Amino acid sequence: MSKGLLIVLSGPSGVGKGTVCTALRSRVPELVYSVSATTRSPRLGEVNGVNYFFKSREQFMDMIENDQLLEYAEYVGNYYGTPRDFVEETLATGRDIILEIEVQGALKVKEKFPDGIFVFLMPPSLDELKDRIQGRGTESQATIDHRMSVAVDEINLLQHYDYAVVNDEINLACERIQSIIIAEHCKVRK
Amino acid sequence: MSKGLLIVLSGPSGVGKGTVCTALRSRVPELVYSVSATTRSPRLGEVNGVNYFFKSREQFMDMIENDQLLEYAEYVGNYYGTPRDFVEETLATGRDIILEIEVQGALKVKEKFPDGIFVFLMPPSLDELKDRIQGRGTESQATIDHRMSVAVDEINLLQHYDYAVVNDEINLACERIQSIIIAEHCKVRK
């Protein structure tokens, strides 16, 4: 039995990572989804081990200390991270696992897991990305400009990734990622 | 426009390279087929530039001398080779080109064209390969043993290839090769 692959799906904020990841999971049900650990409280309907691994702040600090997270970050007062055990146990059973994560987090995962397949989801164009960022709501021009400049900085990190997949259409993006997974399984490891 | 890819499809004798290549070309009509040059005479119905580029011995020797062949070999008194110009002109227009070739020839192509995508078609098992080699006709046991030992030597050259595709079923093998082509087009070139 060959080992599974860790597929890291990343890309700038607003590019549609979440949507593509959800569509991909429904097309490829055998693809395991990397469940994050978090210190935030469960919301109504969220299930421990499915949506998140819910942890106390103390438990989370222990995980950091014992190098049990491939990456972590603080966001609005709560911690979020990728448990290493869950990823490694899945791979050991020969199953592939997908991790959807923002660009900085992906680069941290790469340090600890250089054998991962790093896929960067690209907007069809910067204009398109701007439309998507603007279309989200009623943000100020300053906020939109800031988010665009962050996105451009993130796109400049593309060189650290293995693959660039244009998200022009969800089905096409999914097909490209499925092709990448099939091709990686055919790769001759040297 | 991005440059096209040279896909080199190889594998041991008897593995089904020709069948898979034909099936792939009918599934992917935009994939250009690398036409070989040869000094042998055209057979009934063969068209110059479609089945082969038919050359005189003198023309062929000139091509060798002027480094116009990515590889060549003599077989039963005739020369066969892969014209470099046809490959390079196709790639320059952004189209992908597939070259179906035996293992030694593929390794020669790799020396001159390291950017090619080298795909090794594998038999599902050695027993299966033996069945296919035996199934071809009425060859002697000595011939079959010799061909099997050549095939095993060829399989040991797998390490020089980028991808190994198992030819368990033609449609599956074609899908894997199509996935490899899609994935390679998504690759971030560093």
Q: Do A120 and B188 touch (CB under 8 A)?
A: yes
Residues of A in contact with B165 (CB under 8 A): 186
- What is the pLDDT confidence band of residue A143, given thresholds at 50, 70 and 90? confident
- What is the pLDDT confidence band of residue A136, given thresholds at 50, 70 and 90? low
What's the half-sphere exposure (Cβ side, CA atoms, 13 Å) at B64? 16
Query: How do residues B23-66 score in pLDDT, each as one tens digit?
Result: 999 999 999 999 999 999 999 999 999 999 999 999 999 999 99
Closest CA to B116 of B63, B160, B75: B160
Spatial CB neighbours of A15, under 8 Å, sequence gap ≥ 6? A121, A122, A123, A129, A132, A151, A167
Q: Give the start-to-end residue ranges of the domains of chain A.
A: 6-186
Nearest to A180 among B159, B186, B190 (CB): B186
* A interface residues, B as partner, C-beta within 8 Å: 119-120, 158-159, 161-165, 175-176, 178-180, 182-184, 186-188, 190
What's the half-sphere exposure (Cβ side, CA atoms, 13 Å) at A13? 15
Query: How do residues A58-109 score in pLDDT, each as one tens digit?
Result: 999 999 999 999 999 998 899 999 999 999 999 999 999 999 999 999 999 9
Nearest to A159 among B119, B159, B190 (CB): B190
Question: Would you say residue B4 has pLDDT above 80?
Answer: yes
The mean of the pLDDT values for chain B is 93
Query: How do residues A146-157 score in pLDDT, each as one tens digit?
Result: 888 888 898 899
The pair of structure tokens assigned to A142 is 């300053």
User: What was the pLDDT predicted at B54?
Assistant: 97
Residues of B in contact with A184 (CB under 8 A): 183
Answer with the residue of higher pLDDT: A177 or B132.
Answer: A177
Q: Whole-angstrom Cα distance, residue A3 to residue A111? A: 20
Q: Which of A130-139, A142-151, B90-99 has the highest mean pLDDT?
A: B90-99
Q: Whole-angstrom Cα distance, residue B128 to residue A105? A: 46
Amino acid symbol at A123: P
Nearest to B179 among A120, A164, A182 (CB): A182
Q: Do B161 and A187 touch (CB under 8 A)?
A: no
Query: How do residues B122-168 score in pLDDT, each as one tens digit?
Result: 999 888 888 888 876 777 888 888 888 888 898 899 999 999 999 99
3-class DSSP state of A165: strand
Q: Do A163 and B120 touch (CB under 8 A)?
A: no
Chain A nearest-CA residue for B158: A188
Nearest to A176 among B119, B182, B188 (CB): B182
Residues of B in contact with A176 (CB under 8 A): 182-183, 186
Q: State how far residue B160 is from chain A, nearest Cα, in angstroms.
A: 9
Q: With pLDDT > 70 as the criterion, what percentage of chain B qualifies?
A: 99
Nearest to B188 among A163, A179, A190 (CB): A163
Residue B136 phi/psi, 5-degree rounding, is -70, -30
- What is the pLDDT confidence band of residue B1, given thresholds at 50, 70 and 90? low
- What is the pLDDT confidence band of residue A115, given thresholds at 50, 70 and 90? very high
Q: Whole-angstrom Cα distance, residue A163 to residue A173? A: 12
Question: Would you say residue A168 has pLDDT above 70?
Answer: yes
Tell me the mean pLDDT in the region B75-103. 95
Chain B nearest-CA residue for A187: B163
User: What was the pLDDT predicted at A18?
Assistant: 93
The mean of the pLDDT values for chain A is 93
Name residue A32's beta-bridge partners.
Answer: A97
Region label for B94, one of left (φ > 0), alpha (ψ between -120 and 50) or beta (otherwise): left
User: What was the pLDDT predicted at A92?
Assistant: 95
CB contacts < 8 Å between A and B, how many? 62
The pair of structure tokens assigned to A1 is 């039995």
The pair of structure tokens assigned to A146 is 């800031």
Question: Would you say residue A2 has pLDDT above 80?
Answer: no
Select from B9, B117, B176, B182 the residue whose CB has the most chain A CBs within 10 Å, as the one to mutate to test that interface.
Answer: B182
User: What was the pLDDT predicted at B2?
Assistant: 72
User: What was the pLDDT predicted at A159?
Assistant: 94
Answer with the residue of higher pLDDT: B190 or A98.
Answer: A98
Region label for A72, one of left (φ > 0), alpha (ψ between -120 and 50) or beta (otherwise): beta
Q: Whole-angstrom Cα distance, residue A7 to residue A177? A: 9
Residues of A in contact with B161 (CB under 8 A): 188
User: What was the pLDDT predicted at B136?
Assistant: 65
| Superfamily grouping for domain A6-186 | P-loop containing nucleotide triphosphate hydrolases (3.40.50.300)
Q: Do B176 and A186 touch (CB under 8 A)?
A: yes
Residue A96 phi/psi, 5-degree rounding, is -85, 150
